[in-house]
Amino acid sequence: MGSSNVIVGDAATDTAIKTISAPEAGGSQTFISYPHGISINSDIDRIVVTSTVRPSDLGAPGETVSVIEASTGKVLSTHKLSDTASPSGVSPVEAVFLPNAEPALVYVNNMFGGNVWAGVWDSGDSQFKFRQVFDFVPTQQGVPLEIYFNHKHDKNVYHNGQPWLPRRF
């Protein structure tokens, strides 16, 4: 966090392999801004990265996720995860792939938006299609922070910051 960079590393050797940089500048349609939630799916060669907040003061909340080709580090697309006018300030915070999902499925929490979005992989055009799948606001819960799955991968749990309360689906 605090930059527009994603560092890709080798977990076995604990070494950095490459730095992916895509700052938001010049009206580019693909960018990374204050990355926080990062998830990789090697089956489809994709990394999904959230644009969250400036870590020094929680300012400049983002509203997007970026999709990166893992093998090349190329930022392929950036997707707005809000149906309201920009800047919505929803602050996507976590991105987690559902293990063994076919097609690939990534869940993303919008911290300040109080909702969850899902990206479903479309193998026909090699892109994700994103849509909102749950809104915590009517439940008087907010600030969804973390996503977990049970061992069977048929249920997920969201931890919310206001009030702190896990929500199981």
Q: Which tens digits make up the pLDDT trace of 37-78?
A: 999 999 999 999 999 998 899 889 999 999 999 999 999 999
State pLDDT tens for residues 112-148.
999 999 999 999 999 999 999 999 989 888 888 888 8
Question: For 100-110, what is the mean pLDDT?
Answer: 96
Q: Which residues of 27-169 form beta strands (DSSP E)?
A: 35-41, 46-51, 64-69, 75-80, 92-97, 105-110, 115-122, 127-135, 142-149, 156-162, 164-168
22 has pLDDT over 90: no
The answer to whether the CB of 130 falls within 8 A of the CB of 117 is yes
Q: Which domain holds residue 35?
A: 5-168
CATH number at residue 46: 2.130.10.10
Query: Is residue 26 pLDDT above 70, yes or no?
Result: no
Choose the weakest-confidence range: 4-8, 123-127, 154-158.
154-158
User: What pLDDT does 67 receive?
Assistant: 96
Q: Which amino acid is at 161?
A: G
The domain total for the chain is 1
Q: In the prediction, which pLDDT does 169 show? A: 65
| 3-class DSSP assignment, residue 137 | helix
The residues, any chain, with a CB within 8 Å of residue 90's CB and separated by 6 or more, are 61, 62, 63, 81, 82, 84, 110, 111, 112, 113, 115
Name the residue among 109, 126, 120, 112 with its Cα closest to residue 166.
109
Residue 161's pLDDT band, with cuts at 50, 70 and 90, is confident
For residues 79 and 91, the answer to whether their CB atoms sit within 8 Å is: no
pLDDT value for 101: 94
Beta bridge partners of 38: 49
Q: From CA 81, how far away is CA 78, in angstroms rounded?
A: 10
